[in-house]
């Protein structure tokens, strides 16, 4: 998976700060989403899939600790979070990490260091920033160059759309992905596509890849939320 397929969210209310950081991320090949308040973030997260969140501590309607506490108790509890804040004390850093932060970067951030930290956190959770051509979710192997998925010694024939859907879900295993997020990222929000089409493709993919728990993975529907590919 190349960087261009990964979406980094930034929760920050300072336009100058957010503009600079988003420019760095986009220059590194990531797609970005900006959230300017905790309320906006909560409202949009249900329909927008992001792979990592950069989080300011001081927000107009909440603190970064409030936001990460909400994330860790929500359907998106496994979303990786990096604090990006001017609060530089050791006490604050410990509080942020103990609250569930995956890393902590003090402003003013340095471009190369921030991009390296983002890539490092993504690697730790199994999302590679570099396009290595293939990745393993045992017993499944996803070959992004040949656009093939194999398991149990056999290669499964998938349509292009099925492969895109499977790759998207495997990269976000353990996290709930809404139908709206699938429409946006797999179907590019094609107006002619209905959520029923998404459900049909998911059902077909579950059968083709035996994602019923037999091989250690289950593609489950989450009522009123979407789908989650989870280890059994």
Residue 109 and residue 88 in contact, taking contact as beta carbons nearer than 8 Å: no
Structural domain includes residue 11: yes
Q: Estimate to the nearest angstrom the gap between the alpha carbon of 40 and the chain centroid.
A: 18
Q: Give 64-123 pLDDT, tens digit per residue.
A: 999 999 999 987 788 899 999 999 999 999 999 999 999 999 999 999 999 999 998 888
Task: Kindly state whether residue 129 falls inside one of the protein's structural domains.
Answer: no
Beta strands in the chain (DSSP E): 7-11, 31-35, 52-55, 81-85, 103-106, 134-137, 140-143, 148-151, 154-156, 176-178, 217-222, 226-231
The reported pTM is 0.71
Q: Are residues 36 and 119 in the same domain?
A: yes
Q: Is the pLDDT of residue 22 over 80?
A: yes
For residue 227, the domain's CATH number is 1.10.10.10
Residue 82 dihedral angles phi and psi, to the nearest 5°? -115, 120
Average pLDDT over residues 5-26: 94
Under the banding of pLDDT at 50, 70 and 90, the label for residue 127 is low
Check whether residue 102 and residue 20 sit in a common domain. yes
* For residue 160, pLDDT beyond 60: yes
Same domain for 73 and 17, yes or no, is yes
> Does residue 125 or residue 167 have the better pLDDT?
167
Q: Residue 6's pLDDT is what?
A: 84
Number of alpha helices (DSSP H) and beta strands (DSSP E) in the chain: 8, 12
> What is the number of structural domains in the chain?
2
- Residue 108 makes CB contacts below 8 A (sequence gap 6+) with none
Residue 78 sits in the same domain as residue 145: no
pLDDT at 190: 62
In the predicted structure, residue 1 carries a pLDDT above the cut 80: no
Q: Please give the Cα distance from 23 to 20 (Å, whole number).
A: 5
Residues 23 and 99 in one domain: yes
What range does the domain containing 98 cover?
3-124
β-strands 217-222, 176-178: how paired?
A: unpaired
């Amino acid at each position: 998976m190349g960087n261009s397929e990964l979406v980094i969210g930034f929760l920050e209310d300072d336009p100058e700060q957010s503009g600079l950081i988003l420019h760095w991320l986009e220059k590194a090949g990531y797609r970005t989403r900006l959230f300017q308040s905790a309320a906006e973030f909560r409202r949009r997260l249900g329909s927008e899939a992001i792979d990592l969140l950069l989080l300011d501590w001081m927000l107009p309607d909440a603190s970064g600790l409030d936001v990460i506490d909400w994330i860790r108790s929500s359907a998106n509890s496994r979303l990786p979070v990096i604090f990006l804040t001017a609060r530089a004390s050791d006490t604050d850093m410990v509080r942020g990490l103990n609250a569930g932060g995956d890393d902590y970067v003090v402003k003013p951030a340095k471009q190369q260091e921030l991009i390296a930290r983002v890539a490092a956190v993504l690697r730790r959770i199994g999302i590679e920033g570099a396009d290595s051509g293939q990745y393993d979710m045992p017993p499944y192997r996803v070959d992004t160059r040949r656009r093939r998925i194999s398991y149990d010694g056999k290669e499964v024939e998938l349509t292009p759309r099925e492969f895109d859907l499977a790759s998207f879900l495997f990269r976000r295993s353990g996290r709930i992905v809404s139908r709206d997020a699938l429409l946006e990222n797999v179907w590019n929000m094609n107006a002619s596509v209905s959520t029923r089409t998404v459900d049909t493709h998911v059902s077909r993919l579950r059968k083709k890849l035996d994602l019923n728990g037999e091989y250690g993975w289950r593609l489950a529907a989450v009522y009123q939320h979407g789908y989650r590919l989870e280890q059994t």
